[in-house]
């Protein structure tokens, strides 16, 4: 998820993602509250507030996108709940609040099938249209770049090496971002990908820097990638062993590290 969800726009605001959906959904009326009553307490809720242009810039039209415990993605607007997709991954809202990118299993997948492919979709919160962004691979964990020009995601099956990729929201300009010259993860230039299911964290103040961790084991690293203006890699490096990194308001990175039997907090300036 993008860390700058509380940024201010002239006519649009995006609120931060949080857990426990009932309070957030209640803001949209009875229909939203009914949906909340049936949700698991660990539902991830993303609330997007967009002004209703027909009533002027001071009138907010509330739209909520949330993921239920059974991996169903819904949108709530004007008290009406719409199923966007089943068998979906956690959604990521664009910086301008207009679109949501998410990963899902193909419609052809059936319970009991091996999970070989996942695809990316973009849902337009204004007109309700859902467009397929990628397919035929194991694309996962999509997140918007700070300026909304690209979606960054991960894939291993595209080249055989787990890597970051980027694509525009219209499906154009698909490019591999990391490990372009690597044929295996033992190559010296190899840049480890993030742990699947743990989204990268973008730096505050629209800086083109991500931080992430690589595994659930004690060997997990906290990694940093800095991008240039075109979101090609400018530098990639490790902050050492650790997990659960997060940006602070001061622009430093705070994460946890296992030291013997203890877990200590580490803070690093970038």
pLDDT tens across 238-247, in order? 999 999 999 9
Q: What pLDDT does residue 97 have?
A: 83
CB-based burial label for 185 (10 Å; 0-12, 13-18, 19+): middle
Tell me the average pLDDT across 234-241.
95
Ordered by start, the domain boundaries in the chain are 200-270
How do residues 183-228 score in pLDDT, each as one tens digit? 888 898 999 999 988 889 999 988 899 999 998 777 899 999 999 9
Q: What pLDDT does residue 43 have?
A: 52
Tell me the average pLDDT across 88-109.
86
Count Cβ neighbours within 10 Å for each residue of 127-165 and write b for 16 or more, e otherwise: eeebeebbeebbbbbbbbbbebebbbbbbbebeebbbbb
Tell me the average pLDDT across 115-128.
88
202 contact partners, CB below 8 Å, separation of at least 6: 2, 3, 4, 143, 145, 146, 209, 210, 247
Better-scored residue on pLDDT, 192 or 45: 192
Tell me the average pLDDT across 235-256.
94
Better-scored residue on pLDDT, 244 or 61: 244
Q: What pLDDT does residue 40 have?
A: 42
Query: HEC string of the chain?
Result: CCCCCCCECCCCEECCCEECCHHHHHCCCHHHHHHHHCCCCCCEEEEEEEECHHHCCCCEEEEEEEECCCCCEEEEECCEEEEEECCECCCEECCCCCEEEEEECCCCCCCCCCCCCEEEEEEECCCCCEEEEEEEEECEEEEECCCCCCEEEEECCCCCCCEEEEECCCCCCCEECCCCCCCCCCCCCCCCCCCCCCCCEECCCCCCEEEEECCCCCCCEEEEEEECCCCCEEEEEEEEECEEEEECCCCEEEEEEEECCEEEEEEEEC
27 contact partners, CB below 8 Å, separation of at least 6: 47, 62, 64
Phi, psi dihedral angles at 73 (to 5 degrees): -105, 125
Tell me the average pLDDT across 76-80.
79
**Torsion sign across C-alpha atoms 194, 237, 134, 44:** positive
Q: What pLDDT does residue 25 have?
A: 27
What pLDDT band is residue 134 in, cutting at 50, 70 and 90? very high
- Reply yes or no on whether the pLDDT at 57 is more than 60: no
Q: What pLDDT does residue 96 have?
A: 86
Mean pLDDT of the chain: 79
């Amino acid at each position: 998820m993008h860390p700058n969800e509380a940024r201010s726009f002239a006519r649009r605001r995006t609120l931060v993602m949080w857990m426990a959906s009932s309070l957030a959904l209640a803001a949209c009326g009875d229909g939203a509250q009914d949906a909340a009553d049936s949700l698991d307490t660990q539902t991830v809720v993303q609330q997007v507030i967009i002004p209703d242009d027909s009533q002027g810039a001071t009138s907010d039209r509330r739209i909520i996108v949330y993921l239920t415990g059974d991996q169903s993605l819904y949108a709530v607007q004007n008290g009406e709940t719409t199923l966007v997709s089943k068998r979906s991954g956690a959604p990521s809202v664009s910086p301008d609040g207009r679109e949501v990118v998410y990963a899902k299993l193909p419609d052809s997948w059936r319970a009991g099938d091996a999970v070989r492919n996942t695809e990316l979709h973009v849902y337009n919160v204004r007109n309700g249209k859902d467009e397929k962004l990628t397919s035929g691979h194991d694309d996962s964990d999509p997140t918007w770049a700070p300026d909304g020009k690209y979606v960054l995601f991960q894939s291993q099956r595209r080249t055989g090496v787990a890597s970051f990729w980027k694509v525009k929201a219209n499906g154009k300009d698909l490019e591999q971002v990391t490990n372009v010259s690597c044929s295996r993860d033992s190559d010296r230039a190899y840049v480890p990908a993030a742990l699947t299911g743990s989204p990268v964290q973008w730096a505050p103040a629209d800086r083109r820097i991500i931080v992430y961790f690589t595994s659930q084991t004690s060997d997990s690293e906290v990694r940093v990638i800095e991008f240039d203006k075109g979101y090609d890699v400018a530098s990639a490096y490790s902050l050492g062993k650790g997990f659960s990194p997060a940006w602070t308001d001061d622009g430093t990175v705070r994460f946890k590290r296992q030291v013997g039997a203890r877990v200590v907090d580490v803070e690093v300036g970038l």
